[in-house]
Every structure is written in structure tokens, then in C-alpha cells.
Amino acid sequence: MVILAGSGHIAFGSGIPTRLERRTHATYAIVLSSGEEIEPQMANYLLLSKKQVLPAAGVLGISLEEKDGECRIRLLSSGGAAEKAGLNRGDVLVEIDGQPIKTIADTRLALWDRKPGERVRISARRRRRLKVETRRDFEVELSASGKPTGT
């Protein structure tokens, strides 16, 4: 069995390891990363690695909401990639590069390994006056995010 938990729940065998041993009589080994202060007897194994900086992710600059089985644009970042491409608040995402979009998770998967400057094709439905919906295609050049992740 492998349990992934924060160091406060496993360091020095306190918390999860002792409860697991008490309830199942199983043995355990504690593995911690080197990102914290290291003390004797803190863990059985330490992972010592260099700090890694991840490349910037390509983002649309939107906030989404799921409603009635659809993924709708709730907010657009001012000057963001989606706004520049012509997407509007309330547009429903239908596809990103041919991948169907029904949830926020679908959007994250479609943009998973995309970088700033890459272009994606987005199909969206837009409600017009008198509740007439039209489907439009947009080419969006992804921008960089100030946050570690985003859409």
C-alpha cells in the first residue's frame, strides 16, 4: 500500500504510519522529499533532488463554470488570449482542437501540454438576441499565466 500525504502526517512515524501499523499490523517506510528541514529519525528515506522550475503553461485567460452539462465562460481576463480572439462572457465551449468540452476538466486536458504562443482552435456557442444560438470558431494564441496553472 502507498499513502501520499503531507509530511506533518507522516514525519517521525506519527499520525498515519502509527495508526496504520496499529490497525493492520503492517510494517511501513517513510519517504520524504528534501524540501523541508531534515532531522534525524524523521524518515526512513529522503528524496534529494534539485528544485525544478516548470515552463509557463499556455492559458486562455478565462474563468469557467459548469452549468446544465456545459462549460461556460464566466469571466475573461482583460487583454487575455480569449478576449483578444473574440470570445465573450457567456460563450459555451464546445471543442478545443476537435476535443469535445463538457467540463472544466475537459478544458484542462485539452490545454494540458500547451505553451504560450501556441494556437488552438476553439468552437463555441453564443446566445444572441431572442435566444438564437450560433456556433462560432475562434483561433486563440495562448498566453502565459502569472499563476502555476490556469485555463
**Cα three-residue angle 81-84-85, rounded to 5 degrees:** 85
Cβ-Cβ contacts under 8 Å for 106 (sequence gap 6 or more): 71, 99, 100
- Tell me the whole-structure pTM to 2 decimals: 0.65
Length of the chain: 151
pLDDT (average), residues 49-61 = 86
Domains of the chain: 7-47 (no CATH), 58-144 (2.30.42.10)
User: Distance between CA 46 and CA 36 in Å, rounded?
Assistant: 10
**Residue 64 predicted with pLDDT over 80:** yes
76-101 pLDDT per residue, tens: 999 999 999 999 999 999 999 999 99
**Residue 141 predicted with pLDDT over 90:** yes
**Residue 55 predicted with pLDDT over 60:** yes
**Residue 150 predicted with pLDDT over 50:** no
Pairing of strands 143-144, 58-59: antiparallel
14-40 pLDDT per residue, tens: 788 888 888 998 888 888 876 667 777
User: Distance between CA 148 and CA 150 in Å, rounded?
Assistant: 7
pLDDT at 142: 97
Cell, residue 94? 464546445
